[in-house]
Chain A
Amino acid sequence: MRRGLAALGAVLAWTGGAGAVEPLPPDAARSQAVPRTARGEAVLREAGGCTCHTDYPGEGAGAPVLAGGRALETPFGFFYSTNITPDRETGIGAWSDEDFVRAMTEGLSPDGTHYFPVFPYPAFAGMTRQDLLDLKAHLFSLPAVRRQNRPPDAPPPFRWRFTVLGWKLLNFEPKRFEPDPERDDAWNRGAYLVNGAAHCGECHTPRTLTGGLDRSRWLAGSAEGPEGELAPNITPDRRTGIGDWSAVDVAWYLETGIKPDGDDTQGLMAEVIEHGFARLPAADREAIATYLRSLPPIENEVKAPERKDG
């Protein structure tokens, strides 16, 4: 109980208090006049449709939506995404608002165990309480699917949950998003989305030896992206990043998946565009583009590692 209170206190500290009304981001779709579940659907899209929780690669287009079971390949082993449908036994249907906020911002399950950081709670910790609860409302409005979560297929110690505590001490500093008063609304909205719900850094930032995000190379690309994919450098470096893309190019890409050279997009990024960013309000895609274009260019060439299977 005391632990619960302490955790609640921590959540309150990070999110600015349960009762505090968050200033809504500058976007009509965020309006209080819109029903909560609809706002929550917009948040789901901001998060790329949470497609890691749907096993499209394994089960195809008919995969049960958000029911988990998707294999996520990491340098530490295979982890399987969880069921986030409102099924009360196998999903999150029995979760309270506080359970949901604590999971998203602290990486703790309702019974207090640590979530593996393949779940990007370090990014979600920056989301407003309002957005988190809207997202929960939307998730709870979707069909419940009964599907048991699958334990990770990773060697020790990476499959032991208590080791995540060590990981958190080294790599996790939950930070609520603070707008920069020197910048305009579009930039701040972009910064909020990129570093929060859209969790771009989770794939596009290289990781340190302990599996934390390398803050000195933020968004500079990672050879060990999700599912063994290469996540490109998305800083404006001209040679190794997307310095030759304009903000219009970036926004168009997030809407269509078509790059400036006319090529299309594959892999997980194609999914997050289709189920997420393509369905955002145009102003949000433009805000993301504005923010990404403002980043310091970082030279970092992302190359495929030697593949063991030759």
Chain B
Amino acid sequence: MVRTTLAGVVALALFAIPALAAEDQVYIDYRQKVMSGVGADMGAISDILKHGLPYTDAIAIHANRLEDAASLIPTAFRQNVTAGPTDAKPEIWQKADEFKKAGDALAAAADELEDAADDGDPAAIQAAFKELGKACGGCHKPFRKPKEESYKKQ
């Protein structure tokens, strides 16, 4: 009897998991859109700097947007979803304090770049951008699956 019930529970769980994942998908979608926005601004600043476009004023706006985007990261990762097409590692929720610090570091680095862009010194802008890049890595390294484990490559 117990065994039958257990088997039933297991069977139910097996069916329940895909159903749950489908519901979680919308949270993954939102999260990925927030992060895509971060990537878009990083890519745009890169374009300005690497091609020397005369858009230094725009760098400050992009940096400001990155600071805002950083403030969305806690929301984007509020729902603990690691199953499905996501590269979020469970450590995000296991080490919530560290994850929050990594997000704060992004905001701080973006703020530095905004200041540098306002001042307009190319070397300082370049240096601040590199620090901003490190802030990406500072969070991705512990909290995002490497590409060999990425859902995109499976």
Partner among B43, B133, B148 whose Cβ is within 8 Å of the Cβ of A261: B43
User: B154, A304: Cβ atoms under 8 Å?
Assistant: yes
A212-231 contacts to B, CB under 8 A, are 223, 228-230
Chain A residues within 8 Å of B, Cβ to Cβ: 223, 228-230, 248-249, 251-252, 256-267, 270, 278, 303-304, 307
User: A257, B137: Cβ atoms under 8 Å?
Assistant: yes
Given A249-B50, A252-B50, A304-B154, does the pair A264, B133 have CB atoms closer than 8 Å? yes
Which residue on chain B has the smallest CB distance to residue A251?
Answer: B50
**In the complex, how many angstroms separate the beta carbon of A212 from the nearest chain B beta carbon?**
22
User: Is B84 located at the chain interface by the 8 A CB criterion?
Assistant: no
User: A266, B51: Cβ atoms under 8 Å?
Assistant: no
Residues of chain A contacted by B44 (CB below 8 angstroms): 262
Q: Mark B114-153, 1 if CB is under 8 A from A, else 0.
A: 0000000000000001100100110011001011111001
User: B148, A256: Cβ atoms under 8 Å?
Assistant: no
User: B38, A256: Cβ atoms under 8 Å?
Assistant: no
User: B40, A262: Cβ atoms under 8 Å?
Assistant: yes
Complex Cα distance, B50 from A251, in Å, reads 9
User: B146, A261: Cβ atoms under 8 Å?
Assistant: no
Q: Mark B20-48, 1 if CB is under 8 A from A, else 0.
A: 00000000000000000011111110100
Number of interface residues of B (CB under 8 A): 26
Given A248-B51, A266-B137, A304-B153, does the pair A258, B148 have CB atoms closer than 8 Å? no
Residues of chain A contacted by B133 (CB below 8 angstroms): 256-258, 264
* Chain A residues touching B, majority SS: loop
**In the complex, how many angstroms separate the beta carbon of A281 from the nearest chain B beta carbon?**
15
Partner among A223, A230, A262, A278 whose Cβ is within 8 Å of the Cβ of B38: A262
User: B148, A260: Cβ atoms under 8 Å?
Assistant: no
Complex Cα distance, B148 from A223, in Å, reads 8
User: B46, A258: Cβ atoms under 8 Å?
Assistant: yes
User: A267, B40: Cβ atoms under 8 Å?
Assistant: no
User: B46, A260: Cβ atoms under 8 Å?
Assistant: yes
Q: Mark B87-116, 1 if CB is under 8 A from A, else 0.
A: 000000000000000000000000000000
Residues of chain A contacted by B154 (CB below 8 angstroms): 304
Complex Cα distance, B38 from A152, in Å, reads 42
Can you list 5 pairs linking A and B with CB atoms under 8 Å apart? A230-B148, A261-B43, A262-B39, A262-B46, A304-B147
User: A230, B40: Cβ atoms under 8 Å?
Assistant: no
Complex Cα distance, B148 from A267, in Å, reads 10
**In the complex, how many angstroms separate the beta carbon of A30 from the nearest chain B beta carbon?**
24
Partner among B40, B43, B146 whose Cβ is within 8 Å of the Cβ of A266: B146
Complex Cα distance, B45 from A264, in Å, reads 13
Residues of chain A contacted by B153 (CB below 8 angstroms): 230, 303-304
User: B137, A304: Cβ atoms under 8 Å?
Assistant: no
User: B136, A264: Cβ atoms under 8 Å?
Assistant: yes
Residues of chain A contacted by B50 (CB below 8 angstroms): 248-249, 251-252
